[in-house]
Structure 1
Amino acid sequence: MSAPDYRLDVAELRIVRAIADGGSITAAATSLGYSQPAVSQQVKRLEQRLGVPVVERVGRRMRLTEAGRVIARHAAAVATVIEAASGELAELAGLRSGTVRMVGFPSASPTVLPRLMDRLAQAEPGLTLTYVEAEPPEAIADVRADRADIALTFGYPGDRSDPHGESARGLDTEVIGYDELLAVLPADHPAAGGAGPIEIAPLADEDWIAGCPRCRGHLLEVCGRAGFVPAIRFETDNFVAVEQLVAQGIGVATLPGLAVSSFPVLPGVVTRPLPASERRAIHAVSAGGAGRVPAVASVLGHLRAVVGELTGTGAREN
């Protein structure tokens, strides 16, 4: 019996990755444009050369073995490098086209996305952008798993579960702006007057309406630093519902600036900024080296510009 040969080629990496994504050899063949027998034979030859199985059948589905998962895990990084090389060659030829897959947090959908699409339509007509909404941890996981090219995410100061830490290791993470945090108050509230930032400590005795899980976590952090635990009466990730509850005098809340700017402020509601130290950082996360792919680089450039326009901040601000 010959010794195992662990060298892999690009076609094998693509096939194993496609099986992981599709759950079957048939699905992999369809996505790659190959015949099912061709994919089966390629997998069989790979297993013979490695000396270990790469796939195994579980019920009606095909899943990767531990060896297959190792190959699939590295396939995304290899694909990024190949796309970067192809992109640089395309750049030399003056080409800028292709599809860029982006995921973003909910308040970016009605604010950042429309402006980004408009800029791309005017400046990069040969480029296609797809978009899926996801919270930061899931969005970063999508980039790592090669389900997305760019994740638009956010992180709050002092967040103990900041997704831009260990879970983003090896990815390219860039702060592209800062989104202010606003206190959302009934119009007749004593703190509603004025225009400058307010402190949160005077709101210690109020009832609170909390937002999304990450925003709720930051609310607890902010209030904790001010020396109190907020009495949270309602929780909803619906920005409009938060404002409606505040307008009815049910309580007070905090919302990010992008969330507030995504729809007209309701009658009976006033927003006041909290100190700049409470702003959330807006991040663009991509696979290591993906920024060398012209299409990805182009979207990142326009994304920086749009976030800067909407927030009045840039990556160099502190």
Structure 2
Amino acid sequence: MLELRHLRVLREIARTGSYSSAARNLGYTQPAISQQMKALERRYGTPLVVRAGRGIRFTEAGAELVRHAQDILRDVAEAEAAVTAVANLQAGHVRLVVFPSVSATLVPAAAAHLHRRHPGVRLSLTEAEPPESVQLVRHGECDLALTFAYPEDSDDLDELERIPLLSDPFAAMLPADHALAERAAVGLAELSGDSWVAGCPRCREHLVQVCGAAGFTPDIVFATDDSLAVQSLVAAGLGVAVVPRLLLSSVRRDDLVVRPLQPATHRKIEMVTWPDNLRVPAVAATIRAIEKAARTATQT
């Protein structure tokens, strides 16, 4: 079998024009070079080098092997350089799937930190909510998912790695002139008679569940995935809403009221990936950057 050491010997003989010079440059003895060349000639059944006066020259077969050796060694060098760059975080690509409220809050801070530390590492973003985002990781279409889960959700991550980030409490969002707007905190059951503005499908399911636990079914008059639309509908007096605090840290209208919710409810924000991805330098660096962004978010 042709090995890289053979290719390096061929290239060095072609470059220097002699076995002795090739041996000296490669750290071999001249007999070792001669033995390698004879072994190659036996393998291919044809001479590769012939004597020409005091020097040597490659035969047609030998010249073909040298030409390919140069191409192969160049490609190997490029491959080694590319792998080394990825291993040293000088290059890399992480496919991140996120849900909207973290794409507007945690992701920008994490991406900026990653770019400052490792400018050669590139992030690409896909937006999806769980469970779709988890499936993208499971099927290898993304490397890392930022997801959320409610306390009542079942754990179906199986062999995937779960990395906790933060607990994101929900708050009551009210029109500025709402009867409970001056309260320090709002009981969920106190809003049983109001119309409701709901968010994404999973958010609506959670809303119905927590309201049911408080003894009523919410009268949902508007439902939208657009968080700004939710705020605008509430500000216009068309209903009340329950929203995660993290969502309000990016954009919040000043003509509505946000109050802590009683009983307190929250969602868990976490990262999900395959365990082996934790050993990939670019993925590990991205995880550290997101964890830093989450710590900063909980301190503000």
The CA distance in 1 between the partners of 2:116 and 2:86, in whole Å, is: 22
Pairing 1:120-139 to 2, within 5 Å after superposition:
120-139=114-133
Deviation at 1:191, TM superposition (A): 1.9
Amino acid across the alignment from 1:231? D
Paired position in structure 1 for 2:174: 185
Compared CA separation, residues 204 and 297, structure 1 to 2 (3 A): same
Deviation at 1:156, TM superposition (A): 1.2
Deviation at 1:198, TM superposition (A): 2.7
Deviation at 1:94, TM superposition (A): 4.4
The alignment partner of 1:190 has SS state of coil
Residue among 83, 92, 108 paired with 2:102: 108
Paired position in structure 2 for 1:77: none
The alignment partner of 2:152 has SS state of coil
Pairing 1:113-192 to 2, within 5 Å after superposition:
113-159=107-153, 162=154, 165-166=155-156, 168-192=157-181
Pairing 1:46-125 to 2, within 5 Å after superposition:
94-125=88-119
Superposed CA deviations along residues 244-287 of structure 1, whole A, max 9, x for unmatched, are: 111111110111112222213242x1011224841110010001
Paired position in structure 2 for 1:220: 208
Aligned residues: 219
Residue among 186, 192, 205 paired with 1:204: 192
Deviation at 1:230, TM superposition (A): 0.7
The CA distance in 1 between the partners of 2:273 and 2:224, in whole Å, is: 30
The alignment partner of 2:196 has SS state of strand
Paired position in structure 2 for 1:307: 294
The CA distance in 2 between the partners of 1:98 and 1:279, in whole Å, is: 35
Normalised by the size of structure 1, how large is the TM-score? 0.64
CA contact (8 A) 2:86 2:281 kept: no
Matched-pair identity in % = 42
Compared CA separation, residues 140 and 271, structure 1 to 2 (3 A): same
The CA distance in 2 between the partners of 1:242 and 1:287, in whole Å, is: 35
CA radius of gyration, larger in: 2
Amino acid across the alignment from 1:105? F
Q: Which runs of 4+ in 1 moved over 6 A?
A: none
Pairing 1:5-20 to 2, within 5 Å after superposition:
none
CA contact (8 A) 2:188 2:262 kept: no
Paired position in structure 2 for 1:295: 282
Deviation at 1:96, TM superposition (A): 4.9
CA contact (8 A) 1:96 1:295 kept: no
| Structure 1 unaligned regions, length at least 5 | 1-85, 314-318
Normalised by the size of structure 2, how large is the TM-score? 0.68
Deviation at 1:292, TM superposition (A): 1.2
The alignment partner of 1:192 has SS state of coil
Superposed CA deviations along residues 114-160 of structure 1, whole A, max 9, x for unmatched, are: 1111111111112111111101111100101111110000011223x
CA contact (8 A) 1:244 1:266 kept: no
Amino acid across the alignment from 1:201? A
Amino acid across the alignment from 1:235? A
Compared CA separation, residues 247 and 291, structure 1 to 2 (3 A): same
The alignment partner of 1:250 has SS state of coil
Amino acid across the alignment from 1:199? G
Pairing 1:235-250 to 2, within 5 Å after superposition:
235-250=223-238
Compared CA separation, residues 288 and 276, structure 1 to 2 (3 A): farther
Residue among 248, 253, 266 paired with 1:260: 248
Paired position in structure 2 for 1:16: none
Paired position in structure 1 for 2:218: 230
The CA distance in 2 between the partners of 1:133 and 1:300, in whole Å, is: 17
The alignment partner of 2:187 has SS state of coil
Deviation at 1:288, TM superposition (A): 2.1
Compared CA separation, residues 207 and 96, structure 1 to 2 (3 A): same
Amino acid across the alignment from 2:216? F
Superposed CA deviations along residues 61-89 of structure 1, whole A, max 9, x for unmatched, are: xxxxxxxxxxxxxxxxxxxxxxxxx9xx9
Compared CA separation, residues 235 and 150, structure 1 to 2 (3 A): same
The CA distance in 2 between the partners of 1:100 and 1:146, in whole Å, is: 12
Paired position in structure 2 for 1:62: none
- Root mean square deviation, CA, Å: 2.2
Deviation at 1:211, TM superposition (A): 0.6
The CA distance in 1 between the partners of 2:87 and 2:274, in whole Å, is: 24
